[in-house]
Structure 1
């Protein structure tokens, strides 16, 4: 592993911005200090580390799986570092540009697809895992539509990458590091072979902002060395019953950062059939309940991510700790607190203190009922959960009367009208709360478009 020229000395680790640190944060800080990792990266541009060494502090499997940039430990984020596997049990750390940022907005229409009529073992109301989503996408014809040809489901699971070299961009210098991979492990959620193409799919059953390119690049290099056919990398997210496919290509085989988005495709297998008239009726008919003073007002802008979290808990069908939720979901610890609290505010998640140290979360009885419904019924029940809170009810009513989005000042004014007294606090706090109200109303108004 070499760099085109020496990397500038990296900053010494700063104190965490937040007093609450994860187990990964604490373990990596110890390793960085004991092994003088920052000094070594400053000297040669990278640091190589084994899983045996990582296991001395915490299980390497938990310490190296950062599918999204938000999951990186604080000391990595402070110093613009990421980690890549180079063999079974060995990794390299450096200021690598490892993640691809997905588009935040889309204008792609949702296309409705149906499962074959004879299929009874897959329920549209229970597509909360990557494996179920992959099978649904294949059986409903989504994959063939994207590929433009008939495909067969041929590959899935873990496999060895074989040997290959690649270049990856340094975030600080803009130059490239050469990395050699020797029989590392990669995994494909689904491989679909057609007459002239082979699609490799990485799937996430949640809304995400980015993903680590390695999850597509390592399988791409493996199969590109074996096949004459075009290897097509595809990233799939499933959220709120919408299947969003991002079709990519690597413009240079040996360049990790040559990933280019070719097209975006959106599908669903369950029509919403929720009209604006339904939303207006629910707005008027829903009985307002007082907010529980012991539950903070939510600061979680994306309602889709709340649904994703509920889906994860429904799929797990058990109590999960905050660390477990943070591990399996595209959250950091702080975001886990925000989104769990938001779901508790809605009465959909319960909190239980099993021991003095461990707090666990699960779906409430009502949350389980909501998430077990057909998507249309589920969305209506979620809508009722939101609108039984005065601030959201009043804000949606004002939004519809105005016939255009409310500004932050208008939402803050509505927040200060009732007895909840949540319009107080710093400007930043008021802005975050208003942003949450706006985000949830945007989800409500999106329902008739699904």
Structure 2
């Protein structure tokens, strides 16, 4: 596996300061921003919002890093992340008030824009069950507190950490008559998140006010707001976080029906297969996430996608290839001679549309490919999803670039099945 620059930078720091031996002897290692800055900017070197973002040496050694003061970080065998699963598929529909002109629901590509839209549409109030007002957000001091965190090794012992005036950031804080809701927001789907982003603000505000403080993790992906409402069962234990409920919302004036999908299918003209690798990325929601990121950032290098979002290096390769296959993304040299990914003109056009037009535009790009077109037509004949065996047989009768062996076809058939599933799931959203 190709090492990212951040992997190499941390390898250098671990060698320079003999960090692994220090952790084996003392149970932890404290590193300063000044030490990190000698290699690269500390702010960028310590931002690992998801497990996937961790440097290679952290993953191999089961380590995490947490801030403990304004300029110091502690590295140790800490279970710092919380898994999330999108098990609740029920989605509630909301609209913005008619007088709101400053929020464009087809351009919610930043976390702040997502939260502003969620508040203005009444989603936040619905989530809380009562009227709220935005009260706290931005950067602030954590003040001082101690906590216990579970180790990530087999023993899973609890270790104590002391925090003194570390910097924290709250994406959105909303106060009602009975509670303060603190939200950590991501504009992509995630399988896990760094608990510290909820725990440190929770500890700060629990000590400041009398009302309960409710920590909430929110993702905005495929135009769906997913809220994970948590509680800390023991305020002094980092890993006492427990999911209370998950709720999904969408801003949509027009729903997508099965008839809409069928109309796109029968109007789609199959085009010759592009000479790019056939898709091998099963989670189509992540392709839409990638397109959304590029709609916001204009262009991104491969390492930027891997470092800042919930992708591994291999996933970055697979998902960028998947978007290229659809003609929505391209890989170019920019004016600085850097290799970057950006949306094609068609990709920019589709991603600028509102929910229904955008989704059906992406569906049209999928159905231009012979095998996807055939598989969806077969679905409408039998009115049931095809098995991987049935999809493999359809693949054998289709033109596919560089997929020849039966074993490879069977693996790629799972990708086809998942992409078709995404298309059909649009009815639920």
Q: TM-score range by the shorter chain?
A: over 0.9
1:391 aligns to 2:391 (yes or no): no
CA distance in 1, matches of 2:402, 2:253: 37
CA distance in 2, matches of 1:279, 1:40: 59
Compute the displacement of 1:328 (Å).
3.0
Q: Is the 8 A contact 1:152 1:194 kept in 2?
A: yes
1:97 aligns to 2:97 (yes or no): no
After TM superposition, list the pairs within 5 Å mapping 1:422-441 onto structure 2.
422-425=402-405, 427=407, 429-441=408-420
TM-score, length-scaled by structure 2: 0.96
Q: Is the 8 A contact 1:396 1:441 kept in 2?
A: yes
Compute the displacement of 1:425 (Å).
4.8
After TM superposition, list the pairs within 5 Å mapping 1:308-323 onto structure 2.
308-316=289-297, 318-323=298-303
Q: Is the 8 A contact 1:81 1:93 kept in 2?
A: yes
Deviations 1:329-356 (A, max 9, x none): 2212221111111111111112212479
- Residue number in structure 2 paired with 1:221: 203
Match of 2:91 among 110, 113, 117: 110
1:176 aligns to 2:176 (yes or no): no
SS of aligned partner of 2:242: strand
| Further displaced range: 391-400 or 367-376 | 391-400
CA RMSD after TM alignment:
1.6
SS of aligned partner of 1:263: strand
Pair 1:426–1:46, CA change in 2 (3 A): farther
Q: Is the 8 A contact 1:415 1:423 kept in 2?
A: no
| Further displaced range: 394-403 or 69-78 | 394-403
Q: Is the 8 A contact 1:151 1:193 kept in 2?
A: yes
| Further displaced range: 344-353 or 183-192 | 344-353
Deviations 1:239-272 (A, max 9, x none): 1111111111101010000001111111111144
Q: Is the 8 A contact 2:278 2:400 kept in 1?
A: no
CA distance in 2, matches of 1:421, 1:136: 42
1:410 aligns to 2:390 (yes or no): yes
| Further displaced range: 395-404 or 156-165 | 395-404
Deviations 1:32-62 (A, max 9, x none): 1222222221222211111111112222112
Q: Is the 8 A contact 2:82 2:195 kept in 1?
A: yes
CA distance in 1, matches of 2:69, 2:5: 25
| Further displaced range: 55-64 or 151-160 | 55-64
CA distance in 2, matches of 1:272, 1:389: 27
Match of 1:265 among 247, 260, 277: 247
| Further displaced range: 133-142 or 275-284 | 275-284
User: Unpaired runs of 5+ in structure 1?
Assistant: 1-17
1:379 aligns to 2:353 (yes or no): no
CA distance in 2, matches of 1:423, 1:361: 25
Match of 1:25 among 7, 19, 22: 7
CA distance in 1, matches of 2:405, 2:167: 49
CA distance in 2, matches of 1:432, 1:315: 33
CA distance in 2, matches of 1:127, 1:446: 21
TM-score, length-scaled by structure 1: 0.92
Match of 2:314 among 331, 334, 354: 334
Compute the displacement of 1:303 (Å).
1.4
Deviations 1:357-389 (A, max 9, x none): 621121111111101111111111111000000
Q: Is the 8 A contact 1:413 1:423 kept in 2?
A: no
What count of residue pairs does the alignment treat as equivalent?
428
CA distance in 2, matches of 1:255, 1:236: 22
CA distance in 2, matches of 1:50, 1:302: 38
SS of aligned partner of 1:300: coil
Q: Is the 8 A contact 2:232 2:241 kept in 1?
A: yes
After TM superposition, list the pairs within 5 Å mapping 1:35-50 onto structure 2.
35-50=17-32
Q: Is the 8 A contact 2:69 2:164 kept in 1?
A: yes
Match of 1:84 among 66, 71, 79: 66
